């Protein structure tokens, strides 16, 4: 959508005067804009038509719960008529407050683990009546049925062959999932989704929030440590950092081998689910620079056999 149209939409629906607009994010077909206005800065985010409106409602309600309890996170700006989104032919736009800051990095892991624990503690305290929107969880049956879509690509491709060889490991990983904590989790808690301003840390991008377990987010953050700082998109086995993350998150609680095994299982499940989300459009996505490397990296995690042993070894040495 062109800049003039966006300016008209914002002026009409929010009564905000825009000074200038900058594209701040482009991920495949997703796009966001930084709006400098007479009232401050905002982020306008595009969602495709298949993104659930109920999920936008959930983001709005959950972020209010977090902010009310002292968590620094984004908030949705309502339209003049009270709605949360602007409908356009191919999707919707949602306006957020802009959170200033820079991306966190691996050196912040101790602080980030404390933020994540606080996020989960707040989530566990939220009362049922505070959230009216529909809450989803992982769709395991859908994921298992979707896996076979990769196998329809018959070209001689090492990646497809590898998926075929490890099909049952992926299915077993998916079938291992059990909803235990039943709290709202972030769903994509990575270093990139925590920003910092001075010593204040802020959680961004709540698009993937859902019902889940604490270990779901811990696994995601652990994987983020293994991807961090590698321009070649490759699985770095930063087991020492994962051990440090677990110690920071759990504090004085006892970390045993069973917990380490559960974390590794959650990491493999996350990668299996993430891998399957791209099955439908694989023939298009693989043409994008780095995408095939990313999918292969997910497979590397799924097929890694020594994670438990190496993380446990690092914990014993600390």
CATH code, domain carrying 30? 3.30.200.20
> What is the maximal distance between C-alpha atoms in the chain?
60
pTM to 2 decimals? 0.93
pLDDT tens per residue across span 183-216:
999 999 999 999 999 989 999 999 999 999 999 9
Using pLDDT thresholds of 50, 70 and 90, give the confidence band for residue 85: very high
Residue 184 belongs to domain with CATH number: 3.90.1200.10
- Computed over every residue of the chain, the mean pLDDT equals 91
Residue 6 has pLDDT above 80, yes or no: yes
pLDDT tens per residue across span 244-280:
999 999 987 889 999 999 999 999 999 999 999 999 8
Residue 23 has pLDDT above 90, yes or no: no
Q: Which residue has the higher pLDDT, 89 or 189?
A: 189
Say if residue 87 is in the same domain as residue 127.
no
pLDDT above 90 as % of the chain: 73
Cβ burial 265-296 (10 Å sphere, 16+ → b, else e): bbbbbbbbbbbbebbeebeeeeeeeebbebbb
Say if residue 70 is in the same domain as residue 128.
no
Q: How many domains does the chain have?
A: 2
Using pLDDT thresholds of 50, 70 and 90, give the confidence band for residue 29: low
Say if residue 110 is in the same domain as residue 81.
no
Say if residue 89 is in the same domain as residue 126.
no
Say if residue 94 is in the same domain as residue 139.
no
Say if residue 176 is in the same domain as residue 239.
yes
Those residues with Cβ within 8 angstroms of residue 19's Cβ, 6 or more apart along the chain or in another chain: 36, 37, 38
Using pLDDT thresholds of 50, 70 and 90, give the confidence band for residue 158: confident
Say if residue 94 is in the same domain as residue 132.
no
Say if residue 184 is in the same domain as residue 37.
no
Instruction: Calculate mean pLDDT across residues 42-68.
Output: 96
Say if residue 29 is in the same domain as residue 66.
yes
Domain that holds residue 83: 3-99
Nearest residue to 65 (alpha-carbon basis) of 208, 196, 209, 180: 209
Say if residue 43 is in the same domain as residue 116.
no
Say if residue 109 is in the same domain as residue 9.
no
Using pLDDT thresholds of 50, 70 and 90, give the confidence band for residue 155: low
């Amino acid at each position: 959508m062109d800049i003039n149209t966006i300016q008209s939409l914002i002026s009409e629906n929010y009564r905000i005067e825009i000074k200038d607009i900058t594209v701040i994010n482009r991920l495949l077909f997703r796009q966001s804009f930084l709006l400098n206005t007479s009232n401050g800065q905002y982020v306008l985010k595009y969602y495709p038509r298949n993104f659930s409106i109920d999920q936008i409602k959930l983001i709005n309600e959950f972020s209010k719960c977090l902010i009310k309890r002292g968590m620094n996170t984004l908030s949705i700006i309502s339209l003049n008529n009270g709605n949360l989104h602007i409908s356009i032919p191919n999707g919707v736009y949602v306006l957020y407050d802009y959170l200033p800051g820079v991306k966190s990095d691996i050196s912040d892991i101790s602080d980030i683990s404390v933020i994540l624990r606080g996020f989960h503690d707040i989530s566990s305290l939220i009362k049922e009546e505070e959230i009216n929107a529909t809450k989803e969880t992982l769709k395991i049956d859908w994921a298992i049925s979707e896996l076979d879509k990769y196998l329809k690509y018959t070209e001689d491709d090492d990646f497809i062959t590898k998926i075929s060889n490890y099909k049952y490991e992926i299915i077993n990983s998916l079938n291992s999932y059990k909803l235990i904590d039943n709290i709202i989790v972030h769903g994509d808690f990575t270093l990139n989704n925590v920003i910092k301003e001075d010593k204040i840390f802020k959680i961004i991008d709540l698009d993937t929030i859902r019902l889940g377990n604490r270990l779901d987010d811990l696994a995601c953050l652990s994987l983020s440590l293994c991807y961090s700082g590698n321009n070649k998109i490759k699985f770095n086995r930063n087991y020492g950092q994962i051990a440090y993350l677990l110690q920071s998150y759990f504090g004085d609680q006892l970390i045993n081998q069973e917990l380490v095994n559960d974390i590794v299982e959650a990491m493999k499940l996350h990668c299996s689910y993430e891998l399957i989300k791209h099955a439908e459009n694989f023939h298009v996505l693989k043409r994008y620079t780095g995408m095939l490397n990313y999918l292969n990296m997910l497979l590397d995690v799924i097929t890694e056999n020594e994670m438990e042993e190496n993380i446990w070894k690092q914990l014993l040495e600390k």
